[in-house]
Amino acid sequence: MTVNSEAPVASLMLVDDEPNILQALRRVLRREGYRLLMAHNGEEALEIMQNEPIDLVVSDSRMPGMDGAELLSRIQQTWPDCRRLMLTGHADLTSTIRAINEGQIYRYISKPWNDDELRLTIRQALEHQLAERERRRLEALTQAQNQELSSLNAHLEERVQIRTSELQQVADMLELAYGELKRSYVTATQVFSSLINQRLPRNLQTNTQVRDLIKAFTETHQCDEESQRSLLMAASLYNLGKMTWSDRLLSTPSDRLSTTDREVYKRYPVTGEGLLMALDYLEDTAQVIRHHRERWNGSGYPDRLKGEEIPYGARLLGLAVDFIELQRGMVLQRRLPRDDALKLLRKLSGRVYDPAMCEAFVTLCIEQAPDLGLGGAAIKSLDSRRLEPGMILVRDLHSESGMLLLNEGKQLTQHLIERLIRFEETEGTRYVLWVKMPDGDPE
Instruction: Choose from 142-156, 284-298, 416-430 the range with maximum mean pLDDT.
Output: 284-298
Span 47-61, mean pLDDT?
A: 92
pLDDT value of position 3: 43
Span 357-370, mean pLDDT?
A: 86
Residues 164, 416, 172: CA angle, nearest 5 degrees: 30
Quick one: which of 16, 95, 20 has its CA closest to 63?
A: 16
Quick one: which of 416, 347, 348, 424 has its CA closest to 387?
A: 416
Quick one: which of 35, 102, 117, 113 has its CA closest to 68?
A: 102
Tell me if 382 sits within 8 A of 432, measured CB to CB. Answer: yes
Strands (E), 35-126: 35-39, 56-60, 83-88, 107-110
The answer to whether the bond into 302 is cis (omega within 30° of 0) is yes
Q: How far apart are CA 285 and CA 103, in angstroms?
A: 26
Give tens-digit pLDDT for 85-121: 888 875 566 656 665 655 567 787 888 888 998 899 8
Beta-ladder partners of 433: 382
Give tens-digit pLDDT for 240-256: 888 878 888 878 888 88
Span 153-158, mean pLDDT?
A: 66
380 φ, ψ (degrees, to nearest 5) = -125, 150
pLDDT value of position 294: 96
Contacts (Cβ under 8 Å, ≥6 apart) of 155: none
Pairing of strands 107-110, 432-436: unpaired
Span 37-54, mean pLDDT?
A: 93
Given its phi and psi angles, is residue 38 left (phi above 0), alpha (psi -120 to 50 degrees) or beta?
beta
Q: How far apart are CA 56 and CA 44, in angstroms?
A: 16
Q: Model-level pTM?
A: 0.47
3-state class percentages of the chain: helix first, strand second, coil last, to nearest 5 = 55, 10, 35
Quick one: which of 112, 118, 62, 121 has its CA closest to 92?
A: 62
pLDDT value of position 278: 76
Please report how many Cα atoms fall inside a 13 Å half-sphere around the Cα of residue 364, on the Cβ side.
Answer: 24
Torsion sign across C-alpha atoms 48, 50, 51, 52: positive
**Which long-range contacts (C-beta less than 8 Å, at least 24 apart) are formed by 45-52?**
45/13, 45/15, 45/71, 45/75, 46/71, 46/74, 46/75, 48/13, 49/13, 49/75, 49/78, 49/79, 49/82, 52/11, 52/13
| Helix H or strand E encompassing 405 | strand 404-406
One-letter identity of residue 416 = L
Quick one: which of 421, 432, 434 has its CA closest to 392?
A: 434
32 φ, ψ (degrees, to nearest 5) = -85, -10
| Residue 332 or residue 153, greater confidence | 332
Tell me if 71 sits within 8 A of 14, measured CB to CB. Answer: no
pLDDT value of position 2: 43
pLDDT value of position 243: 80
Question: Quick check: 154 pLDDT over 80?
Answer: no
Given its phi and psi angles, is residue 418 left (phi above 0), alpha (psi -120 to 50 degrees) or beta?
alpha
Domains delineated in the chain: 11-129 (3.40.50.2300), 199-371 (1.10.3210.10), 380-436 (3.90.105)
Tell me if 306 sits within 8 A of 296, measured CB to CB. Answer: yes
SS3 74: helix
Contacts (Cβ under 8 Å, ≥6 apart) of 20: none
Given its phi and psi angles, is residue 104 left (phi above 0), alpha (psi -120 to 50 degrees) or beta?
left
Give tens-digit pLDDT for 280-295: 778 899 999 999 999 9
